[in-house]
Structure 1
Amino acid sequence: MSISPGANPPARSRTAAAPDVMTGMILMVLTVLMAPLIDIFSKLATSSVPAAEITAARFLLQILFMLPIFVWRGAWPRFTLRSSGFHALRGGVITMSMVCFVMTLKVMEVADAIAIFFVEPIILTILSSIFLKEIIGWRRYTACAVGFLGAMLVIQPSFQEVGYIALLPVVTAFCIAISAILTRVMAHTQDPWSMQVETGLWGLAFCVVLLTLGSGTGSAVFDPVLPDAQALLWLLCVGFSAAVSGILGVYAYRAAPASTLAPLQYLEIVTATLLGWLVFGDFPDPIKWLGIAIIIGSGLYIIWRERRFASKPVSDAAGTAIAP
C-alpha cells in the first residue's frame, strides 16, 4: 500500500493536454505496480522487526532516497509555526496508519489487508462532507454503505482467523483520509516535495518516541531490535519501493487530473493479490473476492459520481476551508 508522506498532489485543473494525461496514466499504473512491493517487503520484515521500527525505517530511508532530488530542486521546507503544526498532525496520523497496517500484515494476507484499506475513498467522502462542506447526495452515501458491506465480507472471515487486528486496515484508511484532507488544505501553498520531507521528518520523530518508550518492554510492536542482514535487506527494499512509488505518484498527479487517475489505484488490489500469491502462496477465497469486487465497484461509483456532478473537486473546496 502506497502511503507516502506527501502522496496527495497540489490541486490542479480538471483539464490537461492529452499527452500529459496519457503520461500521468502510465505513471500511475507504474505506481500501483510498485506500491504493493512496500507491503510485501514489510510483511517479510515483520518476522523479526517490530512494526514501529519498520515504519521508522521506511520514513528514514524514503527521505534519504528522495534527498538528492530534493536538494537538486532546492525545495527547502518553510518551518513556520502554523505549517509545522499541520505537518506534525499529518506525520502523526500517517505514523499511526503505517504502524497499524504493518501490524496487520504480520498476521493477514496482503491482498485482504489492502482490499479492506480501500474503504479509504468511502471514508474520505464522508469526512469531506463533514469538514470540507462537500455536498454529498444520497447516491454516494448509498455507495459508501454498500462499500462498507463489501469490506465486511473481507473482514468477517479474517476476523475469525486473527481477531480484532482485522479491523486495523480500517483504522489505517481513516487516518489516511484525515491526512488527505490536511494535504489538500496545504497543497495550495506548499511544494509537494517539501511537504513529503517535512511530514516524513515528523513521522520519523514520532516513531523514535514510540520506540524509545517501548524499549525493553518486550512489545512486539514498539520494542526495537537490532536487525540482522536479512531484515536490513527487507527494510532497504521497503524504503526504496516507497520512495520510487511516491516519486512516480507525485509526477503522475502533476501530469493528469486526480479524477482521471483515481480509478487506476484499484489496480493495486490486483497487483497485491498476484504478489501475495507468488511470494506467500496466499489467494482470496470466493467470499473475499465478492467483497473486493463490491469495494472496488462502490469506490469507482463514488469517483464517477463526484467527477460528473460535483461542482468543485474536494481539493478546491479544501482550499477555501483552512489556509495554512
Structure 2
Amino acid sequence: MTDTSQSYTNTPSETLRGMAIMILAAAFIPILDVFGKKLVTVHQLSPGEVGMFRLGIQAGLTLPIVLVANGWAGLATTRPFLNVLRGLLLALGTLSFFAALRFMPLADATAVFLVEPLMVTLLSAVFLKETIGWRRVAAVAIGFVGAMIIIQPSYAIFGPASLLPLMAAFAVALYLILSRKVSRGTSPLAMMVYGGLVGALALALAIALGQGSGIEELRFSWPPTATAWMLLFLAGLVGTVGHLMFIYAYRLAPASVLAPFGYVEIVSAIGLGYLVFGDLPNLAKWLGMAIIVASGLFVFLRERKAKMAVVEIRRVPPPH
C-alpha cells in the first residue's frame, strides 16, 4: 500500500501485464481472510494473535528480500515516525477486520471494508488538502448507505461488533494517506517491513497488556495444533505475496487504469465464502454491495476525468 503514482510512461504490454496481475492479486488476497476466519472461528485463536503472527511473518519474509537486494541501506527512510504510525494503524486495521470475521460472513465484512477507497477520498481532503467536489462527497455518502444496508442485519444480531469492518476501513484509509507521504523517502519493500514489524510488535504489546482483562480479541492461547500453525504461516505468506503483487502491478500500469479491478476482491470473497463456509449474501446485501461498488467506480471516473482535463489544459499551447 503505497503511493503508486508513476513518473514514467508504461508500454501497452506492461499495462496489460499490470492489469492481469492486479486482477490476480484482488482475487488472491481474500484467501488470507479465509485463513483468518478459520483461525478465529474453528481453531479459537484470538484476532489479536492471528494479526500478530500474520504481520510478523510479513516482516520476516520481506526483510531478507530487502537485505539481499540493497543491504541495510534498503531500509533507509526519511520518515521514521510516520512509518511507526503506519504500523500502528495497520495493526488496528488487521485486528478489527479479523475480529469482524468472528461474527460476519466473509463477503459481508469484505464488502463493508471496500468503503475504504471512499474514506481515502474524504481523508485526502482533510490531511492532504486535496480538493473534492460535491459529486464525490455525495458518492462517498451513498457508498456509506450501501455499507449500512449490509451491516444492518448483523448489527441487529451482534450489536456494535458488526461495525468492526468500518473501523478497519478507517484505519487502513489513514494508513494509505500516510503511505503517500512516506513513499517519497522509503522504498515499497521497506515500507512493508516497517508496517509488518511495527504492527506485529504493537499487537504483541496489546496482547501482553490485555491478559487477564477479559478482552476476547486480545486473549493469547498458543496455537493448539499443527494445522493452526500451518494456517498462520499461510496467512502471513498470502498477505505478503498478495501485497507484493499489488506493488508489482502498480509498477507496470498507472493507478487510474488499475483502480476498478480492485473490486474483483468482493467477487472472490463471495465465492470463497460460499465454497468454504456456505455463506451467500441475501438480496439486501447484494444491493448494498452494488451501491458500494457503483459509488467507488463513480469516484474513480470523476478522478480520471479531472486528471484528463488537467492533461488537456497542459497540452493547449500558450497564446502568442
What is the TM-score when the length of structure 1 is the normalising length?
A: 0.90
CA distances 1:221-249 after superposition (whole Å, capped 9, x unpaired): 11211102221121111111101101111
Q: Tell me, yes or no, if the aligned pair for 1:75 and 1:194 is still in contact at 8 Å.
A: no
2:301 matches 1:304: yes
CA change 1:147–1:14 in 2 (3 A) is: farther
Aligned to 1:316: none
What is the distance in 2 between the residues matched to 1:75 and 1:129?
Answer: 37
Match of 1:50 among 39, 46, 51: 46
CA distances 1:135-158 after superposition (whole Å, capped 9, x unpaired): 111111111111111111101112
Q: Tell me, yes or no, if the aligned pair for 1:14 and 1:259 is still in contact at 8 Å.
A: no
CA change 1:181–1:128 in 2 (3 A) is: same
What is the distance in 2 between the residues matched to 1:134 and 1:73?
Answer: 35
Identity among equivalent pairs (%): 39
2:63 matches 1:67: yes
- Superposition deviation, residue 46 in structure 1: 0.3
- Superposition deviation, residue 9 in structure 1: 4.1
- Superposition deviation, residue 304 in structure 1: 1.0
Match of 1:199 among 181, 186, 195: 195
* SS of corresponding position for 2:93: helix
Aligned to 2:6: 12
For residue 253 of structure 2, what is the amino acid of its counterpart? A
| Within-5 A mapping of 1:127-138 | 127-138=123-134
What is the distance in 1 between the residues matched to 2:36 and 2:194?
Answer: 23
CA distances 1:154-210 after superposition (whole Å, capped 9, x unpaired): 011121122111111111111111111110111122211111112221111101111
Aligned to 1:151: 147
- Superposition deviation, residue 78 in structure 1: 4.5
Gaps of 5+ in 2: 311-320
What is the distance in 1 between the residues matched to 2:84 and 2:143?
Answer: 31
Aligned to 1:116: 112
Q: Tell me, yes or no, if the aligned pair for 1:11 and 1:187 is still in contact at 8 Å.
A: no
Q: Tell me, yes or no, if the aligned pair for 1:154 and 1:291 is still in contact at 8 Å.
A: yes
Worse overlay, 64-73 or 147-156? 64-73
* SS of corresponding position for 1:46: helix
Q: Tell me, yes or no, if the aligned pair for 1:45 and 1:231 is still in contact at 8 Å.
A: yes
| Within-5 A mapping of 1:67-106 | 67-74=63-70, 76=72, 77-78=74-75, 83-106=79-102
| Within-5 A mapping of 1:128-277 | 128-228=124-224, 229-277=226-274
| Higher CA-based Rg | 2
| Within-5 A mapping of 1:23-38 | 23-38=17-32
- Superposition deviation, residue 64 in structure 1: 2.2
What is the distance in 2 between the residues matched to 1:79 and 1:188?
Answer: 12
- Superposition deviation, residue 216 in structure 1: 3.7
Aligned to 2:283: 286
Q: Tell me, yes or no, if the aligned pair for 2:83 and 2:182 is still in contact at 8 Å.
A: no
For residue 258 of structure 2, what is the amino acid of its counterpart? L
For residue 268 of structure 2, what is the amino acid of its counterpart? T
Q: Tell me, yes or no, if the aligned pair for 1:35 and 1:245 is still in contact at 8 Å.
A: yes
- Superposition deviation, residue 65 in structure 1: 2.5
Q: Tell me, yes or no, if the aligned pair for 2:106 and 2:270 is still in contact at 8 Å.
A: yes
What is the distance in 2 between the residues matched to 1:79 and 1:213?
Answer: 31
What is the distance in 1 between the residues matched to 2:3 and 2:243?
Answer: 11
What is the distance in 1 between the residues matched to 2:219 and 2:171?
Answer: 23
* SS of corresponding position for 1:297: helix
- Superposition deviation, residue 10 in structure 1: 4.2
Q: Tell me, yes or no, if the aligned pair for 1:16 and 1:256 is still in contact at 8 Å.
A: yes
CA RMSD in angstroms, aligned pairs only: 1.8
* SS of corresponding position for 1:95: helix
* SS of corresponding position for 1:74: helix
What is the distance in 2 between the residues matched to 1:114 and 1:14?
Answer: 33
Q: Tell me, yes or no, if the aligned pair for 1:75 and 1:193 is still in contact at 8 Å.
A: no
CA change 1:31–1:233 in 2 (3 A) is: same
For residue 164 of structure 1, what is the amino acid of its counterpart? P
What is the TM-score when the length of structure 2 is the normalising length?
A: 0.91
